[in-house]
Chain A
């Protein structure tokens, strides 16, 4: 990559090395400082228009900082260590591009929104958190960055403050708090065998295979991270949140925030150690999610909800390939998974912007939005010669063959089906009011980037020449699922089945689980009753004496 080309330069110039180190810290610090600057009234007015500039240092860092660069921001014992490796750089660069374009889009999209400065604050905080999550190298800082990214995303979800947005925000928050609970337990167990209280993630994970609590730790990590990724059955927050967030918010939520879960898996599962059992679990859940997302998503009647389920399905795909990779203990599983995740990041971001373009503009724009949707959809499905095909080609190298490979290929047919549905929904979407200025450029730019960037990165990441992805065999393997998907879609259209298909309410499983609300409330009422009982004088008096007797008894027995 470009970074490695600069390595000789590093030896000549220590100043450049310092500068590169500094860039890692600036990438995180700039959005934070801008968020802080929002306390000043004049800054508040112009900030929405500056959002697209905030990711610039992160982009520079991803491009120019050599891999393997580590930077100690704060010395022992307050460790805050940043490092850049290939998966981190891929995701950081992709995220920076998406934040940039979505930021420009948001400035135009929220032009008349009275609460746009509050949106900008959440936006900047989530941005800082997401960059940090790709860069930090020690366990405690990772937890901090992960929490920052997760909790700030709440503000993006609930920006419109409709009843639906409130409901989705509450569910998102509840699951986030729960996920943080899983992760802190896992991290503490992970770190507890180390001499350092706050070890480097790398060192802690290297000791994981020898840990007696290995199974429990991995289970907790998977629970925490797949919840953020939206793997079945922990995906319920995603469709609810995505359908209510403003368009640029959905774009970064689906594109970037869910990738915090991906980088978590990449960072915290051991490299080069085969984990057949856990790899299989991840792979199976991922595969199921990939198809489940398509099935539910196909019934949706709003393009953003269809996209949300597409993200669920795609993250299932990511889980499946990564699971397959660690089943065999493959070292390249990490960079290939990150490559695919970055591909999805840009594509999904652009798809959401396309919906925004179609919804907020006139007739002609809607046609353009539809065209963009079709192109992006085909790329996501992996049609040969698109950028997505390259990412898929790399991902498939991780697969062991047999049933898993066939199912993964088949999932591309599902993706095609869902993407066709999405394109139709965009084409049919209601046009609201006059066209808005300033949306076209960022949406188109991101589309182009999403299609081109995988071409640039394919060889550096995989070490293969581009031509490897264009062998007849590869072309055939890439085309048949897309064709199958299109045929299926046509058949469904002709049979008019898709019209009569009832829409599965967004959040599917959650509607079942939320029935539990009533017993939970009843429990709370009971707790209040018990509270009233415990706080009566005679009861409290007996408790006091009983406690004395109990303490005396146990102390005497000792």
Chain B
């Protein structure tokens, strides 16, 4: 039993309370403080997992499932918690008012929503039963939707409404699946359901339940072809909100999609469904990648890039479903590393795009010439973050790409290898397009103004975080296997 896990969920939610009571200025400070504390708790949970080599478990009220509710942080969950906590904290600082300045950059609600996101994400990463997960997903959606329309512009409201409605459809499907499973096995705990499946082969209703749950999660994660809400929502939101939406919010449903097929579904079903998920992933990478190339605004370009990058996780499923433990673990590590490095790099890129828009007064690609003169740090953050998307070393994206490629090529799944390679080319196209334009000199006067340096430095730090992930060794990471049924003995460095 480790109480830190429950603290990781409750601290952010409790931290919301003082924000209601305090004024905007003090509220902002309190919000940042609570975000920092929450990040500390999340990282401490990760540290416990590393130190003990065991998953950290907590039963609410000391009662084990099926009566009680379990929170469990294994290596995979702890990794995601750590990454999301860091990104949320940095976003908080990015959105902070100018030190000594009077004007608030974001309304007080923003910091409340960040805290709500932190709690909901941690719950989604650690909860063990389908209903608690449902609550976590709903909390996440209800914290994310207001972020989209924080400025209250008409387009933002439209985008937020689309997001809300589609996420709601996703929730309905998910809930339907959960109810079916409850009807079949009388429990919602993932571990107990999986255990009940061992002696008896699953019935067809279980297959339907799994399909409902995963389709619901795919709708919330905006996996191709269900991405209709993502570009307007992520591109239209205020910059600091776009950062968390793209970098962390969609990671939770993706994480749960992985858990659905890795922990809940029996292997035979997972193997059968994997190609479908992979095809969706490939569609995302190729189609949304081409669309990102066609965009004329930087924020839309980044939003489509998010829709494309989600696809790599889809490609992970058939690679991880192999019987070869080493290749499976390699794909698994590659997929997780991709999630993590994408979180850092995408956060950096959206922050940079926000700063560019502030400095230039717009974010049109056509007016980007000369931007590197007035906003050098922002362009550097964009480019260095982009390294990871392009899969160039040194970056977490490079290591992830090599792992996925190795796994695909050694299993001789050629088409996946080709998609991974083509995805890198497309990412190279859309990232370099922005950087090259910014490096060119402007005709005539050129853009005036100056970027906000300390905020650009925050973006740069996150981009360097994605680079730092590139120093992970090119082998399955033992940390990720902690508490998972993957047996990695003998494979690890």
Q: How far is the CB of A543 from chain B (nearest CB, A)?
A: 5
Q: Is B173 an interface residue (CB 8 A)?
A: yes
Q: Is B43 an interface residue (CB 8 A)?
A: no
Contact residues in B for A197 (Cβ distance below 8 Å): 406, 473-475
Mark contacts of B282-300 with chain A using CB atoms, 8 A cut-off: 1 yes-contact digit, 0 otherwise.
0000010011011000000
Does B211 lie within 8 Å of A558, measured CB to CB? no
Stretch at the interface among A7-15, A178-186, A469-477, A495-503: A178-186
Q: Is B169 an interface residue (CB 8 A)?
A: yes
Contact residues in A for B440 (Cβ distance below 8 Å): 158, 161, 166
Mark contacts of A516-558 with chain B using CB atoms, 8 A cut-off: 1 yes-contact digit, 0 otherwise.
0000000111011011001111001101110111111011111
Does A192 lie within 8 Å of B409, measured CB to CB? yes
Contact residues in B for A544 (Cβ distance below 8 Å): 169-170, 173, 215, 219, 226
Does A537 lie within 8 Å of B228, measured CB to CB? yes
Does A554 lie within 8 Å of B273, measured CB to CB? yes
Contact residues in B for A273 (Cβ distance below 8 Å): none
Which among A143, A155, A544 has the highest number of chain B CB atoms within 10 Å? Answer: A544
Stretch at the interface among B20-28, B97-105, B149-157, B202-210: B202-210
Interface residues of A in 126-185 (CB under 8 A from B): 140, 143-144, 147, 151, 155, 158, 161, 166, 169-170, 173-174, 177-178, 180-181, 184-185
Does B474 lie within 8 Å of A551, measured CB to CB? no
Q: Is A92 an interface residue (CB 8 A)?
A: no
Contact residues in A for B402 (Cβ distance below 8 Å): 140, 184, 188
Q: Is B401 an interface residue (CB 8 A)?
A: yes
Contact residues in B for A169 (Cβ distance below 8 Å): 436
Which of A173, A184, A557 contacts B436, CB < 8 Å? Answer: A173
| Interface class of chain B by DSSP | helix
Does A77 lie within 8 Å of B493, measured CB to CB? yes
Does A188 lie within 8 Å of B406, measured CB to CB? yes
Q: How far is the CB of B233 from chain A (nearest CB, A)?
A: 12
Residue of B nearest to A146 (CB): B393
Does B169 lie within 8 Å of A555, measured CB to CB? no
Interface residues of A in 184-208 (CB under 8 A from B): 184-185, 188-189, 191-192, 197-198
Does B424 lie within 8 Å of A181, measured CB to CB? yes
Contact residues in A for B211 (Cβ distance below 8 Å): 548-552, 555
Mark contacts of B206-232 with chain A using CB atoms, 8 A cut-off: 1 yes-contact digit, 0 otherwise.
011011101100110000011110010
Q: Interface size class for chain B?
A: 35 or more
Does B474 lie within 8 Å of A184, measured CB to CB? no
Does A177 lie within 8 Å of B425, measured CB to CB? yes
Which of B272, B280, B429 contacts A558, CB < 8 Å? Answer: B272
Interface residues of B in 435-480 (CB under 8 A from A): 436, 439-441, 471, 473-475
Q: Interface size class for chain A?
A: 35 or more
Q: Is A78 an interface residue (CB 8 A)?
A: yes
Which of B227, B273, B280, B393 contacts A555, CB < 8 Å? Answer: B273
Mark contacts of B388-406 with chain A using CB atoms, 8 A cut-off: 1 yes-contact digit, 0 otherwise.
0011111000000110011
Does A556 lie within 8 Å of B208, measured CB to CB? yes
Does B276 lie within 8 Å of A550, measured CB to CB? yes
Q: How far is the CB of B31 from chain A (nearest CB, A)?
A: 33
- In the assembled complex, the Cα of A198 lies from the Cα of B493 at a distance in Å of 13
Assuming the A-B contacts A197-B475, A527-B290, are A535 and B276 also in contact, with contact meaning beta carbons closer than 8 angstroms in the complex? no
- In the assembled complex, the Cα of A544 lies from the Cα of B406 at a distance in Å of 32
Assuming the A-B contacts A549-B211, A555-B269, are A540 and B401 also in contact, with contact meaning beta carbons closer than 8 angstroms in the complex? no
Q: Is B428 an interface residue (CB 8 A)?
A: yes
Contact residues in A for B169 (Cβ distance below 8 Å): 541, 544
Contact residues in A for B421 (Cβ distance below 8 Å): 181, 184-185
Does B473 lie within 8 Å of A527, measured CB to CB? no
Does B225 lie within 8 Å of A540, measured CB to CB? yes
Which among A166, A181, A548 has the highest number of chain B CB atoms within 10 Å? Answer: A548
Given A551-B215, A554-B273; 12 other pairs, CB 8 A cutoff: A140-B393, A140-B474, A147-B392, A147-B393, A178-B425, A189-B409, A197-B406, A528-B294, A530-B287, A544-B169, A551-B210, A554-B276
Interface residues of B (CB under 8 A from A): 166, 169-170, 173, 204, 207-208, 210-212, 214-215, 218-219, 225-228, 231, 265, 268-269, 271-273, 275-276, 280, 287, 290-291, 293-294, 390-394, 401-402, 405-406, 409-410, 417, 421, 424-425, 428-429, 432, 436, 439-441, 471, 473-475, 493
